[in-house]
Structure formats: structure tokens, C-alpha cells
């Protein structure tokens, strides 16, 4: 799965979870950039991402992610 495919799917997930079609993700996007992305929404978001991509994040990876770019990289690794 290419990075572009991952980002495309991630944007759909973010738009659905946060109920905003205007969300556009970049590598450097963080929780501070998206209104409503708090710790509770982070758990919801990770759960939806795991379901949609058919993966399971190790807990150490979830807490270590700094931005959406790192999230996309980890998804790419886990989808192999």
C-alpha cells in the first residue's frame, strides 16, 4: 500500500470520526491542528484505523507517534 493510498484512507477516517469534510492531512499534522482531537478521540481514532486497515498497533507505538506522517509510516509497516 502506497503512502498516498494510506493518506487518502486516513483523510476519509479523520473526516468521518471528526464529522468534518474539510480535514486535509499532511505529514506534520498533529492533534493540536484538529479541533476536538483529545485523548478520548485519539482512542476512538486508533480503533477505527485498526479496523479499517485490519491492523493492531502495539501500545508503545501508539504513545510514541508524533504526527500523522509517523502514523502513516507505522500503518505502512503493519500492512506488509
**Other CB atoms within 10 Å distance of the CB of residue 32:** 8
Domain count, the chain: 1
- pLDDT single digits (tens) 27-77: 999 999 999 999 999 999 999 999 999 999 999 988 889 999 999 999 999
Domain range for 20 is 3-78
CATH classification at residue 70 = 1.10.1200.10
- pLDDT single digits (tens) 64-73: 899 999 999 9
**Interacting residues of 38 by C-beta distance below 8 A, sequence separation 6+:** 31
Q: From CA 67, how far away is CA 30, in angstroms rounded?
A: 5
pTM above 0.85, yes or no: yes
State the distance between the two ends of the chain, measured CA to CA, in whole angstroms.
8
Amino acid at each position: 500500500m502506497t503512502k498516498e493510498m494510506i493518506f487518502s484512507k486516513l483523510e476519509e477516517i479523520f473526516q468521518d470520526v471528526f464529522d468534518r469534510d474539510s480535514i486535509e492531512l499532511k505529514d506534520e499534522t498533529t492533534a493540536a491542528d484538529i479541533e476536538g482531537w483529545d485523548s478520548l478521540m485519539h482512542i476512538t481514532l486508533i480503533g477505527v484505523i485498526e479496523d479499517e486497515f485490519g491492523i493492531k498497533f502495539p501500545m508503545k507505538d501508539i504513545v510514541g507517534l508524533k504526527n500523522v506522517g509517523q502514523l502513516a509510516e507505522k500503518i505502512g509497516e503493519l500492512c506488509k
